[in-house]
Structure 1
Amino acid sequence: MGSFVFYWQIETRQILVFFRIEFNCLKDVDTVKNVTFVVMEFSSKLIEKAVNEMSQLPGIGKRTALRLVLHLLKQPKEQTGFLSQALLNMREDIKFCENCHNISDTKVCEICANSSRNHQTICVVEDIRDVMAIENTGQYKGIYHVLGGKISPIEGVGPSQLNISTLVEKVKSGKVVEIIFALSSTMEGDTTNFYIYKQIAEFQIIISTIARGISVGDELEYADEVTLGRSILHRVPFEKTFKNN
Protein backbone atom coordinates (compact mmCIF):
# COMPACT_ATOMS: atom_id res chain seq x y z
CA MET A 1 0.00 0.00 0.00
CA GLY A 2 1.28 3.47 -0.87
CA SER A 3 -0.10 6.95 -1.13
CA PHE A 4 -0.15 9.86 -3.54
CA VAL A 5 -0.51 13.49 -2.55
CA PHE A 6 -2.00 16.03 -4.94
CA TYR A 7 -2.01 19.81 -4.56
CA TRP A 8 -4.05 22.35 -6.43
CA GLN A 9 -5.58 25.71 -5.76
CA ILE A 10 -8.81 27.54 -6.42
CA GLU A 11 -8.88 31.32 -6.50
CA THR A 12 -11.94 33.24 -5.43
CA ARG A 13 -12.44 36.96 -5.21
CA GLN A 14 -10.40 37.55 -2.08
CA ILE A 15 -9.57 34.05 -0.90
CA LEU A 16 -6.90 31.68 -2.16
CA VAL A 17 -7.73 28.08 -1.26
CA PHE A 18 -5.12 25.30 -1.43
CA PHE A 19 -6.30 21.68 -1.41
CA ARG A 20 -4.11 18.87 -0.17
CA ILE A 21 -5.63 15.49 -0.86
CA GLU A 22 -3.85 12.28 0.07
CA PHE A 23 -4.94 9.00 -1.50
CA ASN A 24 -4.39 5.46 -0.29
CA CYS A 25 -3.47 3.32 -3.28
CA LEU A 26 -4.88 -0.18 -3.21
CA LYS A 27 -4.74 -2.77 -5.98
CA ASP A 28 -8.01 -1.83 -7.61
CA VAL A 29 -9.42 1.06 -5.59
CA ASP A 30 -8.02 4.48 -4.66
CA THR A 31 -9.53 5.82 -1.46
CA VAL A 32 -9.23 9.29 -0.04
CA LYS A 33 -7.13 9.19 3.12
CA ASN A 34 -6.98 12.82 4.15
CA VAL A 35 -8.13 16.22 2.90
CA THR A 36 -6.56 19.46 4.12
CA PHE A 37 -7.76 22.96 3.24
CA VAL A 38 -5.40 25.91 3.53
CA VAL A 39 -7.18 29.22 3.06
CA MET A 40 -5.30 32.43 2.25
CA GLU A 41 -7.47 35.47 2.84
CA PHE A 42 -6.54 38.91 1.55
CA SER A 43 -7.46 41.62 4.02
CA SER A 44 -6.79 44.28 1.38
CA LYS A 45 -7.82 44.49 -2.24
CA LEU A 46 -4.63 46.46 -2.89
CA ILE A 47 -2.54 43.57 -1.57
CA GLU A 48 -4.62 41.12 -3.60
CA LYS A 49 -4.09 43.10 -6.79
CA ALA A 50 -0.34 43.40 -6.16
CA VAL A 51 -0.09 39.64 -5.53
CA ASN A 52 -2.05 38.87 -8.69
CA GLU A 53 0.24 41.06 -10.80
CA MET A 54 3.43 39.74 -9.19
CA SER A 55 2.35 36.14 -9.76
CA GLN A 56 2.25 36.78 -13.52
CA LEU A 57 6.06 36.64 -13.53
CA PRO A 58 7.66 33.32 -14.59
CA GLY A 59 8.26 30.95 -11.69
CA ILE A 60 6.35 33.11 -9.20
CA GLY A 61 3.34 31.48 -7.56
CA LYS A 62 0.75 33.13 -5.36
CA ARG A 63 2.48 32.39 -2.08
CA THR A 64 5.87 33.57 -3.34
CA ALA A 65 4.19 36.67 -4.76
CA LEU A 66 2.63 37.37 -1.37
CA ARG A 67 6.03 37.13 0.34
CA LEU A 68 7.52 39.56 -2.18
CA VAL A 69 4.64 42.00 -1.83
CA LEU A 70 4.85 41.95 1.97
CA HIS A 71 8.62 42.48 1.73
CA LEU A 72 8.10 45.54 -0.47
CA LEU A 73 5.50 46.80 1.96
CA LYS A 74 8.11 46.80 4.73
CA GLN A 75 10.60 48.79 2.68
CA PRO A 76 10.79 52.60 2.75
CA LYS A 77 8.43 54.23 0.27
CA GLU A 78 11.29 55.71 -1.72
CA GLN A 79 12.83 52.25 -2.19
CA THR A 80 9.60 50.91 -3.64
CA GLY A 81 9.41 54.04 -5.75
CA PHE A 82 12.90 53.41 -7.15
CA LEU A 83 11.86 49.89 -8.16
CA SER A 84 8.61 50.93 -9.82
CA GLN A 85 10.31 53.83 -11.62
CA ALA A 86 13.13 51.59 -12.85
CA LEU A 87 10.61 49.11 -14.26
CA LEU A 88 8.59 51.90 -15.87
CA ASN A 89 11.68 53.49 -17.42
CA MET A 90 12.84 50.12 -18.74
CA ARG A 91 9.49 49.42 -20.36
CA GLU A 92 9.12 52.87 -21.93
CA ASP A 93 12.69 53.74 -22.89
CA ILE A 94 14.25 50.42 -23.90
CA LYS A 95 15.31 50.19 -27.54
CA PHE A 96 16.48 47.52 -29.94
CA CYS A 97 19.77 48.04 -31.74
CA GLU A 98 19.00 48.91 -35.35
CA ASN A 99 22.01 46.89 -36.45
CA CYS A 100 21.92 43.64 -34.46
CA HIS A 101 18.48 43.77 -32.70
CA ASN A 102 20.09 43.49 -29.28
CA ILE A 103 18.37 45.27 -26.39
CA SER A 104 19.96 48.68 -25.94
CA ASP A 105 19.59 52.10 -24.37
CA THR A 106 20.45 53.77 -27.68
CA LYS A 107 19.71 53.22 -31.37
CA VAL A 108 23.01 51.37 -31.77
CA CYS A 109 24.16 49.12 -28.94
CA GLU A 110 27.57 49.46 -27.29
CA ILE A 111 28.90 46.33 -28.99
CA CYS A 112 28.02 47.46 -32.51
CA ALA A 113 29.30 50.97 -31.77
CA ASN A 114 32.65 49.63 -30.59
CA SER A 115 35.15 50.15 -33.42
CA SER A 116 37.60 47.69 -31.84
CA ARG A 117 35.20 44.77 -32.42
CA ASN A 118 35.52 42.63 -35.53
CA HIS A 119 32.49 43.71 -37.59
CA GLN A 120 33.20 41.09 -40.25
CA THR A 121 32.34 38.24 -37.88
CA ILE A 122 28.74 37.86 -36.76
CA CYS A 123 27.58 35.49 -34.03
CA VAL A 124 23.93 34.51 -34.46
CA VAL A 125 22.07 34.05 -31.16
CA GLU A 126 18.50 33.68 -29.97
CA ASP A 127 18.19 36.55 -27.48
CA ILE A 128 20.03 38.94 -25.17
CA ARG A 129 20.68 36.22 -22.57
CA ASP A 130 22.91 34.42 -25.06
CA VAL A 131 24.76 37.65 -25.86
CA MET A 132 25.45 38.12 -22.16
CA ALA A 133 26.55 34.50 -21.76
CA ILE A 134 29.07 34.71 -24.62
CA GLU A 135 30.32 38.14 -23.55
CA ASN A 136 31.03 36.77 -20.08
CA THR A 137 33.52 34.30 -21.59
CA GLY A 138 35.74 37.14 -22.79
CA GLN A 139 36.68 34.99 -25.82
CA TYR A 140 34.60 36.56 -28.58
CA LYS A 141 35.55 39.85 -30.24
CA GLY A 142 33.07 40.02 -33.10
CA ILE A 143 29.52 41.38 -33.16
CA TYR A 144 26.13 39.70 -32.82
CA HIS A 145 22.84 39.23 -34.59
CA VAL A 146 19.88 38.53 -32.30
CA LEU A 147 17.13 36.52 -33.98
CA GLY A 148 14.55 37.05 -31.26
CA GLY A 149 13.67 33.36 -31.06
CA LYS A 150 13.93 30.06 -32.90
CA ILE A 151 11.84 28.46 -35.63
CA SER A 152 9.20 26.36 -33.88
CA PRO A 153 6.15 25.18 -35.86
CA ILE A 154 4.61 23.81 -32.66
CA GLU A 155 4.63 27.28 -31.12
CA GLY A 156 3.65 28.93 -34.38
CA VAL A 157 7.00 30.67 -34.87
CA GLY A 158 8.13 30.81 -38.49
CA PRO A 159 11.12 32.40 -40.25
CA SER A 160 9.17 35.57 -41.04
CA GLN A 161 8.69 36.24 -37.32
CA LEU A 162 12.43 36.23 -36.64
CA ASN A 163 15.20 38.66 -37.57
CA ILE A 164 16.49 36.44 -40.37
CA SER A 165 15.96 38.67 -43.40
CA THR A 166 18.18 41.42 -41.96
CA LEU A 167 20.93 38.87 -41.39
CA VAL A 168 20.72 37.73 -45.00
CA GLU A 169 20.94 41.36 -46.13
CA LYS A 170 24.14 41.80 -44.12
CA VAL A 171 25.66 38.80 -45.86
CA LYS A 172 24.56 40.10 -49.26
CA SER A 173 26.32 43.40 -48.58
CA GLY A 174 29.67 41.62 -48.92
CA LYS A 175 31.01 43.00 -45.64
CA VAL A 176 30.66 39.75 -43.69
CA VAL A 177 33.49 37.21 -43.60
CA GLU A 178 32.12 34.69 -41.10
CA ILE A 179 28.77 33.72 -39.61
CA ILE A 180 28.85 31.75 -36.34
CA PHE A 181 25.73 29.86 -35.31
CA ALA A 182 25.40 29.92 -31.51
CA LEU A 183 21.86 28.69 -30.98
CA SER A 184 20.94 26.09 -28.39
CA SER A 185 21.52 22.46 -29.37
CA THR A 186 17.83 21.62 -29.61
CA MET A 187 15.64 20.54 -32.50
CA GLU A 188 14.37 24.11 -32.88
CA GLY A 189 17.90 25.50 -32.74
CA ASP A 190 19.20 23.06 -35.35
CA THR A 191 16.20 23.74 -37.59
CA THR A 192 16.85 27.47 -37.40
CA ASN A 193 20.55 26.99 -38.12
CA PHE A 194 19.83 24.87 -41.18
CA TYR A 195 17.21 27.29 -42.52
CA ILE A 196 19.61 30.23 -42.29
CA TYR A 197 22.41 28.13 -43.77
CA LYS A 198 20.30 27.43 -46.85
CA GLN A 199 19.67 31.17 -47.23
CA ILE A 200 23.35 32.16 -47.16
CA ALA A 201 25.21 29.05 -48.39
CA GLU A 202 25.68 30.50 -51.90
CA PHE A 203 27.79 33.38 -50.63
CA GLN A 204 31.55 33.11 -50.27
CA ILE A 205 31.73 33.33 -46.50
CA ILE A 206 32.72 31.04 -43.63
CA ILE A 207 29.71 29.47 -41.93
CA SER A 208 30.59 27.85 -38.61
CA THR A 209 28.88 26.72 -35.45
CA ILE A 210 30.12 26.64 -31.88
CA ALA A 211 31.79 23.37 -30.90
CA ARG A 212 29.59 20.79 -29.22
CA GLY A 213 31.09 21.37 -25.84
CA ILE A 214 27.55 22.55 -25.29
CA SER A 215 25.48 19.45 -24.55
CA VAL A 216 22.73 18.56 -27.00
CA GLY A 217 19.41 19.75 -25.61
CA ASP A 218 20.94 22.33 -23.27
CA GLU A 219 20.06 26.01 -23.30
CA LEU A 220 23.04 28.25 -24.03
CA GLU A 221 22.45 30.61 -21.10
CA TYR A 222 23.04 27.79 -18.58
CA ALA A 223 26.47 26.80 -19.90
CA ASP A 224 29.45 27.76 -17.76
CA GLU A 225 31.86 30.40 -19.08
CA VAL A 226 34.78 28.01 -19.64
CA THR A 227 32.76 25.52 -21.70
CA LEU A 228 31.06 28.27 -23.68
CA GLY A 229 34.35 30.07 -24.27
CA ARG A 230 35.99 26.92 -25.62
CA SER A 231 32.98 26.31 -27.86
CA ILE A 232 33.49 29.74 -29.41
CA LEU A 233 37.25 29.29 -29.84
CA HIS A 234 36.96 25.78 -31.31
CA ARG A 235 33.97 26.38 -33.56
CA VAL A 236 33.62 24.11 -36.58
CA PRO A 237 32.27 24.61 -40.12
CA PHE A 238 28.49 24.29 -39.95
CA GLU A 239 28.37 22.13 -43.08
CA LYS A 240 30.21 19.35 -41.24
CA THR A 241 27.57 19.15 -38.52
CA PHE A 242 24.95 17.66 -40.83
CA LYS A 243 27.06 16.00 -43.53
CA ASN A 244 28.72 13.72 -40.98
CA ASN A 245 25.38 12.52 -39.57
Structure 2
Amino acid sequence: MYEGPIQDLIDELSRLPGVGPRSAQRIAFYLLDAPEEDVFKFADTLRRVKQQARFCDVCFNVSQEERCRVCRDPRRDRTVLCVVEESKDVVAIERTNEFRGLYHVLGGSISPIDGRGPADLHTRELFTRLADGEIQEVILATDPDTQGEATAAYLSRILRDFGIRVTRPASGLPVGGDLEYADQVTLGRAFEGRRSMFPETTGS
Protein backbone atom coordinates (compact mmCIF):
# COMPACT_ATOMS: atom_id res chain seq x y z
CA MET A 1 0.00 0.00 0.00
CA TYR A 2 1.20 3.48 -0.87
CA GLU A 3 0.35 6.75 0.77
CA GLY A 4 -1.94 9.55 -0.32
CA PRO A 5 -2.76 10.37 -3.96
CA ILE A 6 -0.57 7.59 -5.42
CA GLN A 7 -2.67 4.90 -3.75
CA ASP A 8 -5.85 6.81 -4.67
CA LEU A 9 -4.74 6.81 -8.32
CA ILE A 10 -3.92 3.08 -8.23
CA ASP A 11 -7.34 2.36 -6.72
CA GLU A 12 -9.11 4.39 -9.41
CA LEU A 13 -7.12 2.81 -12.23
CA SER A 14 -7.89 -0.67 -10.86
CA ARG A 15 -11.57 0.01 -11.45
CA LEU A 16 -11.02 0.24 -15.21
CA PRO A 17 -11.95 -2.82 -17.32
CA GLY A 18 -8.99 -5.11 -17.88
CA VAL A 19 -6.70 -3.23 -15.49
CA GLY A 20 -5.59 -5.25 -12.48
CA PRO A 21 -3.75 -3.96 -9.41
CA ARG A 22 -0.28 -4.54 -10.86
CA SER A 23 -1.14 -2.87 -14.16
CA ALA A 24 -2.72 0.01 -12.26
CA GLN A 25 0.48 0.41 -10.26
CA ARG A 26 2.61 0.52 -13.42
CA ILE A 27 0.34 3.11 -15.02
CA ALA A 28 0.31 5.21 -11.84
CA PHE A 29 4.10 5.35 -11.65
CA TYR A 30 4.33 6.02 -15.39
CA LEU A 31 2.10 9.06 -14.89
CA LEU A 32 4.12 10.11 -11.85
CA ASP A 33 7.34 10.07 -13.89
CA ALA A 34 5.82 11.63 -17.03
CA PRO A 35 6.31 15.34 -17.81
CA GLU A 36 3.76 17.53 -16.06
CA GLU A 37 2.40 18.95 -19.34
CA ASP A 38 1.71 15.45 -20.67
CA VAL A 39 -0.22 14.46 -17.56
CA PHE A 40 -2.23 17.69 -17.60
CA LYS A 41 -3.02 17.15 -21.28
CA PHE A 42 -4.21 13.63 -20.50
CA ALA A 43 -6.40 14.90 -17.65
CA ASP A 44 -7.83 17.62 -19.91
CA THR A 45 -8.66 15.02 -22.56
CA LEU A 46 -10.59 12.97 -19.99
CA ARG A 47 -12.50 16.08 -18.95
CA ARG A 48 -13.38 16.97 -22.54
CA VAL A 49 -14.56 13.42 -23.23
CA LYS A 50 -17.09 13.69 -20.41
CA GLN A 51 -18.16 17.19 -21.43
CA GLN A 52 -18.32 16.85 -25.22
CA ALA A 53 -18.78 13.20 -26.17
CA ARG A 54 -22.33 11.96 -26.42
CA PHE A 55 -24.38 9.22 -28.04
CA CYS A 56 -26.21 9.52 -31.34
CA ASP A 57 -29.92 10.25 -30.90
CA VAL A 58 -30.76 7.67 -33.58
CA CYS A 59 -28.39 4.72 -33.29
CA PHE A 60 -26.63 5.35 -29.92
CA ASN A 61 -23.16 5.23 -31.44
CA VAL A 62 -20.58 7.56 -29.91
CA SER A 63 -20.88 10.99 -31.49
CA GLN A 64 -20.04 14.66 -31.06
CA GLU A 65 -23.33 15.77 -32.59
CA GLU A 66 -26.98 14.81 -32.27
CA ARG A 67 -26.47 12.32 -35.10
CA CYS A 68 -23.29 10.33 -35.68
CA ARG A 69 -21.34 10.46 -38.95
CA VAL A 70 -22.90 7.18 -40.18
CA CYS A 71 -26.47 8.34 -39.63
CA ARG A 72 -25.66 11.66 -41.31
CA ASP A 73 -24.10 10.04 -44.38
CA PRO A 74 -26.64 10.10 -47.27
CA ARG A 75 -24.64 7.44 -49.11
CA ARG A 76 -25.42 4.71 -46.57
CA ASP A 77 -27.91 1.98 -47.47
CA ARG A 78 -30.90 2.76 -45.26
CA THR A 79 -32.63 -0.55 -45.94
CA VAL A 80 -30.06 -2.59 -43.96
CA LEU A 81 -29.50 -2.22 -40.22
CA CYS A 82 -26.65 -3.84 -38.29
CA VAL A 83 -27.29 -4.38 -34.58
CA VAL A 84 -24.19 -4.45 -32.37
CA GLU A 85 -23.50 -4.42 -28.65
CA GLU A 86 -21.07 -1.51 -28.33
CA SER A 87 -19.67 1.42 -30.31
CA LYS A 88 -16.32 -0.38 -30.57
CA ASP A 89 -18.07 -3.00 -32.70
CA VAL A 90 -19.09 -0.30 -35.18
CA VAL A 91 -15.43 0.65 -35.56
CA ALA A 92 -14.43 -2.99 -36.12
CA ILE A 93 -17.08 -3.50 -38.81
CA GLU A 94 -16.32 -0.21 -40.54
CA ARG A 95 -12.69 -1.29 -40.93
CA THR A 96 -13.77 -4.20 -43.16
CA ASN A 97 -15.33 -1.91 -45.81
CA GLU A 98 -17.89 -4.69 -46.37
CA PHE A 99 -20.92 -3.02 -44.82
CA ARG A 100 -22.56 0.17 -46.07
CA GLY A 101 -25.80 0.15 -44.13
CA LEU A 102 -26.79 1.72 -40.81
CA TYR A 103 -26.14 0.65 -37.21
CA HIS A 104 -27.99 0.29 -33.96
CA VAL A 105 -25.91 0.06 -30.76
CA LEU A 106 -27.66 -1.85 -27.99
CA GLY A 107 -25.37 -0.66 -25.22
CA GLY A 108 -24.52 -4.18 -24.06
CA SER A 109 -25.97 -7.67 -24.14
CA ILE A 110 -28.53 -9.67 -22.18
CA SER A 111 -26.78 -11.07 -19.10
CA PRO A 112 -28.99 -12.35 -16.26
CA ILE A 113 -25.93 -13.00 -14.08
CA ASP A 114 -25.15 -9.27 -14.28
CA GLY A 115 -28.78 -8.31 -13.81
CA ARG A 116 -29.05 -6.95 -17.36
CA GLY A 117 -32.18 -7.75 -19.34
CA PRO A 118 -33.72 -6.55 -22.63
CA ALA A 119 -35.23 -3.48 -20.94
CA ASP A 120 -31.73 -2.32 -19.98
CA LEU A 121 -30.66 -2.20 -23.63
CA HIS A 122 -31.77 0.02 -26.53
CA THR A 123 -34.23 -2.61 -27.74
CA ARG A 124 -37.35 -0.44 -27.62
CA GLU A 125 -35.63 2.17 -29.79
CA LEU A 126 -34.63 -0.58 -32.23
CA PHE A 127 -38.22 -1.73 -32.66
CA THR A 128 -39.33 1.88 -33.13
CA ARG A 129 -36.81 2.32 -35.96
CA LEU A 130 -38.27 -0.70 -37.74
CA ALA A 131 -41.87 0.49 -37.54
CA ASP A 132 -41.86 2.61 -40.72
CA GLY A 133 -40.98 -0.35 -42.95
CA GLU A 134 -37.95 1.22 -44.64
CA ILE A 135 -35.49 -1.32 -43.22
CA GLN A 136 -35.62 -4.63 -45.07
CA GLU A 137 -32.82 -6.55 -43.34
CA VAL A 138 -31.50 -6.61 -39.78
CA ILE A 139 -28.06 -8.11 -39.17
CA LEU A 140 -27.67 -9.33 -35.58
CA ALA A 141 -23.93 -8.81 -35.11
CA THR A 142 -23.76 -9.38 -31.38
CA ASP A 143 -20.64 -11.09 -30.02
CA PRO A 144 -20.38 -14.87 -30.60
CA ASP A 145 -20.35 -15.61 -26.86
CA THR A 146 -23.06 -16.81 -24.47
CA GLN A 147 -24.51 -13.36 -23.81
CA GLY A 148 -24.31 -12.31 -27.45
CA GLU A 149 -26.04 -15.46 -28.65
CA ALA A 150 -28.77 -15.03 -26.04
CA THR A 151 -29.29 -11.45 -27.18
CA ALA A 152 -29.47 -12.47 -30.84
CA ALA A 153 -31.94 -15.25 -30.03
CA TYR A 154 -34.18 -12.87 -28.08
CA LEU A 155 -34.15 -10.23 -30.82
CA SER A 156 -34.77 -12.76 -33.59
CA ARG A 157 -37.92 -13.98 -31.84
CA ILE A 158 -39.29 -10.44 -31.67
CA LEU A 159 -38.15 -9.46 -35.16
CA ARG A 160 -39.89 -12.45 -36.75
CA ASP A 161 -43.16 -10.55 -36.34
CA PHE A 162 -41.84 -7.58 -38.34
CA GLY A 163 -41.72 -9.62 -41.55
CA ILE A 164 -38.20 -8.52 -42.45
CA ARG A 165 -35.06 -10.50 -43.22
CA VAL A 166 -33.00 -11.24 -40.10
CA THR A 167 -29.43 -12.49 -40.54
CA ARG A 168 -26.38 -13.30 -38.45
CA PRO A 169 -22.73 -13.07 -39.56
CA ALA A 170 -21.46 -16.39 -40.88
CA SER A 171 -19.27 -18.80 -38.95
CA GLY A 172 -15.58 -18.03 -38.90
CA LEU A 173 -15.76 -15.67 -35.96
CA PRO A 174 -14.25 -17.34 -32.89
CA VAL A 175 -16.87 -18.60 -30.45
CA GLY A 176 -16.63 -16.75 -27.17
CA GLY A 177 -14.74 -13.83 -28.73
CA ASP A 178 -15.46 -10.16 -29.29
CA LEU A 179 -16.02 -8.52 -32.67
CA GLU A 180 -13.44 -5.84 -31.90
CA TYR A 181 -10.66 -8.45 -31.78
CA ALA A 182 -11.55 -10.22 -35.04
CA ASP A 183 -9.21 -9.49 -37.92
CA GLN A 184 -10.61 -7.48 -40.82
CA VAL A 185 -10.57 -10.35 -43.34
CA THR A 186 -12.40 -12.79 -41.05
CA LEU A 187 -14.98 -10.20 -40.03
CA GLY A 188 -15.47 -9.03 -43.61
CA ARG A 189 -16.08 -12.58 -44.84
CA ALA A 190 -18.47 -13.21 -41.95
CA PHE A 191 -20.58 -10.27 -43.12
CA GLU A 192 -20.35 -11.23 -46.76
CA GLY A 193 -21.58 -14.76 -46.00
CA ARG A 194 -24.15 -13.90 -43.33
CA ARG A 195 -26.94 -16.41 -42.84
CA SER A 196 -30.65 -16.01 -42.28
CA MET A 197 -31.99 -16.55 -38.78
CA PHE A 198 -35.20 -17.90 -40.33
CA PRO A 199 -34.15 -20.27 -43.18
CA GLU A 200 -37.74 -21.14 -43.95
CA THR A 201 -38.56 -17.47 -44.67
CA THR A 202 -35.36 -16.44 -46.45
CA GLY A 203 -36.07 -13.67 -48.92
CA SER A 204 -39.15 -12.43 -47.09
* Aligned residue identity for 2:114: E
How many angstroms does 1:85 deviate by?
Answer: 0.5
1:99 aligns with: 58
Contact (CA 8 Å) 1:97, 1:108: kept in 2 or not? yes
Q: Distance in 2 between matches of 1:83 and 1:192?
A: 36
Could you say which residue in structure 2 is the equivalent of 1:76?
Answer: 35
| Distance of 2:147 and 2:20 partners within structure 1 | 29
Could you tell me how far apart the structure 1 residues matched to 2:135 and 2:187 are? 23
Is contact 1:96–1:107 with CA below 8 Å preserved after alignment? yes
Question: CA 1:217 to 1:72, structure 2 compared with 1: closer, same or farther past 3 Å?
Answer: closer
Specify whether residues 59 and 189 from structure 1 end up closer, same or farther in structure 2 by C-alpha distance, changes over 3 A only: closer
Runs (5+) with no aligned partner, structure 2: none
Measured in 2, the distance between the counterparts of 1:86 and 1:193 equals: 35
Instruction: Using structure 1 for the length normalisation, give the TM-score.
Output: 0.76
TM-score normalised according to structure 2 size: 0.91
1:147 paired with 2:106, answer: yes
Residue 113 of structure 1 corresponds to which residue in structure 2? Answer: 72
The aligned residue for residue 33 of structure 1 is none
Structure 1 unaligned residues grouped into runs of 5+: 1-15, 17-41
Deviations 1:99-136 (A, max 9, x none): 10111111100111111111111000000121111111
Q: Which of 58, 78, 86 lines up with 1:127 in the alignment?
A: 86
Aligned position for 2:166:
207
Query: CA separation in 2, counterparts of 1:219 and 1:91?
Result: 25
Query: Could you tell me which residue of structure 2 aligns to residue 174 of structure 1?
Result: 133
Could you tell me how far apart the structure 1 residues matched to 2:30 and 2:152 are? Answer: 44
User: Is residue 36 of structure 2 the alignment partner of residue 46 of structure 1?
Assistant: no
| RMSD (CA atoms) | 1.7
Where does residue 24 of structure 2 map in the other structure? 65
What's the CA shift for 1:237? 0.8
**Deviates further, 46-55 or 76-85:** 46-55
SS of the residue corresponding to residue 207 of structure 1 reads strand
> Using the alignment, how far apart are the partners of 1:205 and 1:222 within structure 2?
30
Deviation at 1:219, TM superposition (A): 2.0
Question: Matched residues in 2 for 1:191 and 1:48: separation?
Answer: 40
Number of residue equivalences: 200
TM-superposed CA distance for 1:52, in Å, is: 2.1
CA displacement at 1:49 relative to structure 2: 1.9
Deviation per CA, 1:163-201, whole angstroms, max 9, x where unpaired? 111111111111111101111122322221122122221
Q: Equivalent residue for 2:120?
A: 161
User: The residue matched to 1:119 in structure 2 has which SS?
Assistant: coil
Equivalent-residue separation in structure 1 for 2:109 and 2:58 (angstroms):
19
**Structure index of larger Rg:** 1
Q: Name the structure with the higher helix share.
A: 2
- Taking the aligned partners of 2:11 and 2:162, their CA distance within structure 1 comes to 52
In percent, how many aligned pairs have the same letter?
37
